[in-house]
Structure formats: structure tokens, C-alpha cells
Chains A and B, each alone.
Chain A
């Protein structure tokens, strides 16, 4: 079954606000990754969090991981119009088993 289901499917916020996206998965993982996909462009890796980590930061990004609940969240603080994109979580189980979620479409309104 597919790993990584995200919610909300779509999110629209004003510039400067924070955006939170959630990802749930079904089986044990080795690590979880978040990607951004701008329209017409390839996927861009944002951040990776390992199964033994609970929180990571990268610039305006904050990722949490709760392995007991099999869920992760991505927080983008002080959003900008350039953050408008689709965001995907991807779970890595073992080796090359790498599964993407359904994605959250984020629109940041200037």
C-alpha cells in the first residue's frame, strides 16, 4: 500500500503566515524526506529526518517526526510568494524503497 498520505491536499495562506503540512504513513521507516515541486520543474529535496530524530530545522523549515503516530509535519514559517508549490513527503523504508505521498498544494498570496 502507498506510504505517505498528506493533508491538507491544498492550502492557501497570506504571505507572512506560517504553513503547516502533515504526512502520515503506514509502516516503519528508515527516514522521511520532504520535497518541493514547483510547476513544470523537478522535485527539490528540502529536508530529511531520520527515524531516531524528532525534529529538524533548516532555515524557515521545521520538520517533526512522531514514529509512534507514524506522522510528520512540515512547518514553513514567514511564508513568501515564492514558497507557492506542491510539497511531498517521501518515506524511505529500506534500500531503494522510496514512497511519495499525495502532496499538498500550497499557495501563498502576496
Chain B
């Protein structure tokens, strides 16, 4: 399975600013996913980032708030825009390996606190 490097590992940001989270994979992967884990909650899929096309967002998540880039098969970024304290969460990128039905590898996460 792939190895993922995600950064920053944590950040404290001011309300109204934006933070871009980077996800680097050690091999080429077709599908990359971004998740959010709010305190005490399970993981929630934000969007799927496929190279060469616009990201597909899940219900409740919009591109203006969470723009995603996927310039190549090994890299993706998620930006959390115009942040509010409600955005405080852990954000994780994930890649699918051996096809979407065979499991996923996750990054170590970015712990975001908005003050």
C-alpha cells in the first residue's frame, strides 16, 4: 500500500483566514480522498480528488469552502477557506489502493484549531 505524507500536522489559525493542507503520496494513485474528523465524531468524507478532473464533493461540502487541487497522481491539497471555530477538526487525506473496493491508506492527519 502507499505511504502518505501529510502536512502540516497541526495548526492554530485565526478566524476568517485560510489554511492549505498538503498530501504527498509515494506512488501514483488514481483516487485521493479528503476526510474530516470533528471532535468526538466519526470520519466524514469531504470530497474525492481525481487527477485531471474537478473534485467531487459530498453533501454538505462545497468547493468555495474546501477547494481541492490535484495537479498530478502523487499530490493533492485541501484548502479550508474563511475559517470559523466550527472548522476545528482533524483533516485526513486518503488514497485507494488496488481499486476502491480493496482498502485505503490514510495520512496522519492535520489537527486544525480555529480561534
Contact = CB atoms under 8 A, between A and B. Distances in A.
Contacts of A96: 31, 33, 45, 48, 56, 100
Contacts of A43: 43, 92, 94, 104, 106
A97 B94 CA distance: 13
A48 B42 CA distance: 18
Chain A, interface residues (CB within 8 Å), range: 20 to 34
Nearest to A95: B100
Given A30-B101, A43-B106, A45-B105, A4 B42 contact: yes
Contacts of A90: 43
B59 to A, nearest CB: 10
A110 B101 CA distance: 36
A48 B100 contact: no
Contact of A2 (B31, B42, B48, B94): B42
Contacts of A92: 100-101
B41 A42 contact: no
Interface in A74-99: 88, 90, 92, 95-99
A96 B31 CA distance: 9
A96 B104 CA distance: 11
Contacts of B39: none
19 contacts: A4-B42, A30-B101, A42-B108, A43-B43, A43-B106, A44-B106, A45-B103, A45-B105, A48-B101, A48-B102, A48-B103, A50-B101, A88-B43, A92-B100, A92-B101, A96-B33, A98-B45, A98-B100, A102-B42
